[in-house]
Amino acid sequence: MSRKKVLVLGGNFAGLTAALTVKHELHGDVDVTVVSSCDDFLFTPSLIWVPFGKRIRRDITFKVGPTFEEHQVDFVHAEATAIDPVAKRVETAAGPQDYDYLVIATGYRNRFDVIPGLGQDGNAHTITTMEDALHAGEGWRRFIDRDEPGDIVIGATQGAGCFGAAYEFLFNTSYQLKKAGLKDKVRLTYVSAEPFLGHFGIGGLPHGESLLGMFLKKEKIHAVLDTAMDHVDEGRLVLADGRTIDFGYAMIIPPFSGQEVVRKVEAISDDNGFVKVRDTYQSEAYDDLYAVGVAAAVEVPWTTATPVGIPKTGFPTEQQAHTAALNIAAQVRGEEPAEHKAFGDIPAVCVMDAGNNGVVILADKMLPPRKHGVLIPGPQAHVMKLGFEKYFLWKMKHGQVRLP
């Protein structure tokens, strides 16, 4: 029998983990190819520090080609342009790729169109990609150099899910204002679609609202919650209810959508371009097609007055990738997929940085109902995030994806 071929689209958290895990699980007795338009691995949690000059590109990236080569995984640095799940073929800018099993790990696009005035040429910055974070850094330096810098708005739009990054950037901004001697001159406002502080897009955790409230009070940050944004003018955020907030600098997290190459395949994608999956991470439509990480659709288990998304962070992404890889390995061996791990049942593990402080977030499940959940504040969280960044980059660069 010919060797089976596993094709993985995407080479960051989800793609790299899935590709190397299936290769290791089958002891190399499988052909694995990764196709990605980007040849860098990016540790996205550290993008919060880039605008302040605390990290530059080379600090939080590495080339994935050597990593894949070391583990006998083929790497094609090209964009995937079309997916044909019936013919089991993916068209790429470097030519077609056939597969026996496909893993879609293509991540996200920013949905800037949800709020006029967002985007690279808009009136507010964001930090969800390296290019965005670098651009936000240029704006930050201009802001700091002004004689009268103005106020700052930081927030997340309706439909956004990446609230952790918004909070981290908020508190890091407060810390940087103190260091620059501007804390008493700049009004800092947090604007969020969340129904309450500390919702995080996961329904909140015990005492989270009061803890975040204390943080904001201590840092003299004003919060505007449970609100939608209408548009961003130059120097002014306009809310859906007509209220306005002036600013000299703004950073706003938008919602995410799936990549266009996925959205075009109606049989597998939802309206946002994410792949509809089972708890095995097989697509609902095809047993040989998987999706993991941000590319996998997750249903929001609640209804809020202002739409709130769900964060698809690094830890659940790894868990999904391992689950998918083990199920593919089982199929290659002629067995039925036996690994099941619904997104909501994956534990919540997150370290939220706040400049020289922070919060460790732990819960038995990502989504309610839960049995346990806790937020642990303190400077140790900042130290933990610094250490984890170094460890995780080492782990991924050396292909040690089976380590915790």
Active-site residues, by number, are 162, 350
Tokens of 30: 């499988």
DSSP assignment letter at 329: H
Residue 52 contacts residue 11 (beta carbons within 8 Å): no
d(C-alpha 196, C-alpha 99), whole Å: 46
Residue 290, classed as helix, strand or coil, is strand
d(C-alpha 312, C-alpha 328), whole Å: 22
In the chain, count of helices (H) and strands (E)? 8, 22
Percentages (nearest 5) of helix, strand, coil residues in the chain = 30, 25, 45
d(C-alpha 141, C-alpha 247), whole Å: 15
Residue 188 contacts residue 222 (beta carbons within 8 Å): yes
Edge-to-edge strand list for the sheet holding 5-9: 74-77, 31-36, 5-9, 101-104, 289-291
